[in-house]
Structures are given as C-alpha cells and as structure tokens.
Amino acid sequence: MAGPRHDTRGIVDAPDLFTHVRFRRREPAPALRPYLEHYWLIDWDLPQPYVSHVVPHPSVNLVFQRFESGNEREQAGFAEISGIGLDLFAQKLEGRGRVCGVQFRPGGFRPFAPDRPVSEWTGRRIPADQVLSARPSPAAVLDPADEDARVAALDRYLLSLGPRPDPQADRAMAVAERARKDRSLRRVGQLARTEGLSARSLQRLFSTYVGVGPKWVILRYRIHEALERAESDPETDWAALAADLGYSDQAHLVRDFTATVGVPPTAFAPR
C-alpha cells in the first residue's frame, strides 16, 4: 500500500485552514492498511474562533477529540463514529483542541463492525462504544504529547478489534477505488459491468459495505476533483473540465458543485 495521500481533496480553502491548525496524515500499522486510508491529526490554539469546511469523502471516520469547553465530556475527550457525511461539513474550532481521526477506506469499516450495514451510520455521528465491540479510551489516544505515541495508541485499539476478513468488503473497496481513479466510469451501469454485477447487486453491495450508493460515490469524487481544480487554477476551463468528468455540459457541473460546496466555482477566484 502507498503511504498517506498528500492532496487536499475535500478540504475547502485548505491553505487557509493550514494557517490556523497543524494538520498531518500518518500511516497505520501494516495489518490495518488494507482497511484504512490514513490517520489524520489536528491540533490548534486559536485566539479567535475559526470554522473549517470539508466536502466529506465516501468514508466512515472514527474520531477522538478534545476541545476547551464548559462541557466536561469535551474537556475529557470523547470518541465517535462519523458516518459518511452527505452535506458540506462545518466545524467551529476555538481555544485549544486536539483531534486524532481514522479515515477508513470506502468499504473498509464493515470488517470492524460487521453486525450492521454501513448505511445505518450514514449522515450520523454516534458514540464509538455504541458501534464498536471494544470501548475506546480517548485519554490513551489524546493524552500523549508525542505524536508517534498517539499513532501507536490508535494502532493498538484498532488491532484489538480484530477486523474480520470479508471478501465482500475487499470487493467493495476495490470497486470504490476504481470509481475514484477511472474517469471513464461515469455511470453506475458501466461500473457494474466492469465487476460482472448487475446495477442492483452493486447498489446492495455499496449500501451494505460503503454506506452510500455508487452513483453518489462517483459524483462525490468528481466534485472533489472540481473543487481542487477551482482552488488551484483560476484559469480553469470549466466546460472542458465538465466534459472530462463526464458531465453533459458545464451547467450541470456548476449546479452539482454549488449544491455540494455551497458556492459556485467562481467563488474561488483569486481575491
């Protein structure tokens, strides 16, 4: 497996975010890499509140977090399962805080929680001990000052869950990865045919193992690419990009982009 991604896909205005927080990605233990994209670590100490925005990936996340707050739970730290977010995600950061997150591969969470379909968690944030078989210890993950120790604590906890080998999870991960990388796959029927499945069977596979339908996954990856292009290239030819991403015309891409991100691509023009 390759190391953690270095792109910023999904993060809205990543350069601005990185001026406010320390953001890192780290690689999990080898036995966990087939199921996980990476760990992601964020620390901040802010004189003024800041709101971050993310267009979520088609991934479940396990998130350990601690915030300065009058809420005792937030001060002590807590862990939750964050199912796939269907809408733009906004998080207000203020004071001091720390987050240690686990981003699972699309399809990679089910082996850790095999009793229910992943679609049950979509759009929801649930205390981790209500989903996973072993109670997590937020202190064990969040307390160490040393970053390597936090990563090691994440490894120990996830390995203690003993992810169950599941050929269908492997298949779902492979299909989702194909949808991410192969631009020629623009419709569910095409994706299903590459796997020798009916569209209905592919829908069931994604509902059970990924948490959203394949059409949603294809669209979300295209919007991620369009967002990255909008932020990095002010001279983007949107008509050409729309065609490259499989849209019938520029207007459809702009409509989907605006509905997902909340603003049209032109909002990312240099200021």
Per-domain boundaries in the chain: 14-160, 167-268
Structural tokens at position 79: 């862990």
**Residues 119-165: tens digit of each pLDDT:** 999 999 999 999 999 999 999 999 999 999 999 999 999 999 989 88
pTM over 0.95: no
- Separation between Cα atoms, residue 165 and residue 168, nearest integer Å: 9
Rounded to 5°, the CA angle 2-91-102 comes to 30
Structural tokens at position 119: 């679609």
| Burial profile 103-133: b = 16 or more Cβ within 10 angstroms, e = fewer | bbbbbbbbbbbeeebbbebbeeeeebeebbe
- Separation between Cα atoms, residue 180 and residue 171, nearest integer Å: 14
Give the three-class secondary structure for 195.
Answer: coil
CA distances from 264 to 86, 176, 256 (A): 18, 27, 9
Q: How far apart are the first and last CA of the chain?
A: 39
CB of 10 closer than 8 Å to CB of 55: yes
Q: What pLDDT shows up at residue 231?
A: 82
Which residue is associated with the tokens 């520029």?
Answer: 250
Q: What pLDDT shows up at residue 24?
A: 95
- Separation between Cα atoms, residue 59 and residue 36, nearest integer Å: 9
**Residues 142-153: tens digit of each pLDDT:** 999 999 999 999
Rounded to 5°, the CA angle 90-5-250 comes to 65
- Which one is the CATH code of 14-160: 2.40.50, 3.40.50, 2.60.120, 2.60.40? 2.60.40
Residue stretches of the chain with pLDDT short of 70: 1-3, 70, 269-271
Contacts 24+ apart (CB under 8 A), 142-150: 142/64, 142/65, 142/66, 142/77, 142/98, 142/100, 147/24, 147/26, 147/41, 150/41, 150/100
- Give the CATH H-level superfamily of domain 167-268: Homeodomain-like (1.10.10.60)
Strand partners, 53: 90
